[in-house]
Structure 1
Amino acid sequence: MIVEQIMKKDVITLTKTDTLETAIHKLKEFHIRHLPVINEDRHVIGMITDRDMKQASPSIFEESKRSRFLTRSVESIMKKDVVYAHPLDFVEEISAVFYEHGIGCLPVVQHQKLIGILTKTDLLRTFVKLTGADQPGSQIEIKVNDITKSLADISSLCQRLQVKILSVLVYPHDDSGAKVLVFRVKTMNPLPFLQELQKNGHLIVWPSEHRDQL
């Protein structure tokens, strides 16, 4: 999956000459937390977040300072070192960018022009769908040493038992060299499937409470 499939295309923006009062109004009106700052060519020249506004804002008890604050330009507090995404970037790789930079939003740029925006919420929603967590089902985790062989064997078993696979993930096991295959299957009673898995020599990591019952 790539960024352009999940990004928002209707982006609310600011210019560097807009006032901070305008920025606050847009954040509240559109219920958003991030505002890209663009120039006349739609090049991204900065970013403002609700956190930036809170940090820069004077105390509510300093009325005179607050009035001056609201008339300041966006340029005075915007972050100029902006990290971008490209519409053809893979969602998984962009997730690492969010994590590494500790950011909550990425403007999406193509040919140096702003064409969309991607937030942590968009990513979370996407991963929920990719993992099948938004559908009723059961999660089964199996320790494997040969991913390719185990995946083929378990897929064949699912086909024979008519168990629908919603998603498959892989993550490292504590044992060096081993992996954990995570299947989300469309059944609310996975016990028959778990029994067949164990009969076929597969080591079940989860559901842990069933391991002694099989």
Structure 2
Amino acid sequence: MLVEEIMKTEVITLPPTATIKQALFLLNKHKIRHIPIINEHHQVIGIVSDRDVRDASPSIFETDDSNPAELEHEIQTIMSHPVVTIHPLDFVEEIARIFYDKEIACLPVVREKNRLVGIVTEKDMLYTMIQLTGTHVQSSHIEIKVPDRPGILPAVTAIFGKRRTNIVSVLVYPYKGDADYKVLVIRIQTMNPLPVIQDLREAGYALLYPNNTVGLNQ
């Protein structure tokens, strides 16, 4: 899946000379958490978060001024820069690592000459991961311990194919404690996985979940 498939293209932005007060207004009005700061060429030069604005705003206990001077400061005085950006043709699975490594909650999407074309937030990423794992649809969850060797995945999925079972998602994880094995996490679109589970056992595969014939997960 590519970034262009999940990014939002309607992005609220501000120039660097906008005030903190303007940023605060937009954050509250549109219920967003980040605003990219762009120059006259629509290039990303910074970004501000709701936390940046909150930290720069006067305390709520200060009541002697209804329009404090701090809010009139230019947004460029508090924006973060340089900005980590991504491209529309980047893979979603790879930018998830950027979110994790950089500990950030928003990534502007840029094309040629650093021009802003969209934005991806951690909420967008979380929803995309839900879709990729298949947990957004009713399904049954099966975990299988398999040898880490070529051809094992088609061999396992062939068992599902014989039952004409629709596979919603397939994930592959390392098996803890033994690098010679992997764990296949397969979600299938059936509320009665017992027949295919029995087929897997008869084929000699070790099921980690369910590890017995009761308590099947939906």
Q: Tell me the TM-score normalized by structure 2.
A: 0.92
Could you tell me how far apart the structure 1 residues matched to 2:213 and 2:184 are? 17
Mapped pair 1:98 → 2:99: yes
Aligned twin of 2:72: 71
Identity of aligned residues (%): 46
Measure the CA separation in 2 of the matches of 1:205 and 1:123. Answer: 28
Counterpart in the other structure of 1:210: 213
8 Å CA contact 1:33, 1:50 repeated in 2: yes
RMSD between superposed Cα atoms in Å: 1.5
Of 135, 138, 143, the match for 1:136: 138
Aligned to 1:8: 8
3-state SS in 2 of match to 1:41:
coil
Correspondences of 1:152-171 after superposition (within 5 Å): 152-171=154-173
What is the Cα deviation at residue 64 of structure 1?
5.2
Distance change (3 Å), C-alpha of 1:177 and 1:55: farther
Shift of 1:81: 2.1
Distance in 1 (alpha carbons) for counterparts of 2:128 and 2:121: 11
SS of the equivalent of 1:12 reads: coil
Query: What are structure 1's unaligned runs of at least 5 residues?
Result: none
- In the other structure, the counterpart of 2:174 is 172
**Structure 2 alignment gaps of length 5 or more:** none
> In structure 1, how many angstroms separate the alpha carbons of the residues matched to 2:212 and 2:26?
51
Q: What is the alpha-carbon distance in structure 2 between the residues aligned to residue 145 and residue 156 of structure 1?
A: 16
- Name 1:43's counterpart in structure 2: 43
Match of 1:80 in 2: 81
| More helix as a share of residues | 1
How far apart are the structure 2 equivalents of 1:40 and 1:58? 30
**Per-residue deviation, 1:40:** 0.4
Counterpart Cα distance in 2 of 1:147 and 1:26: 53
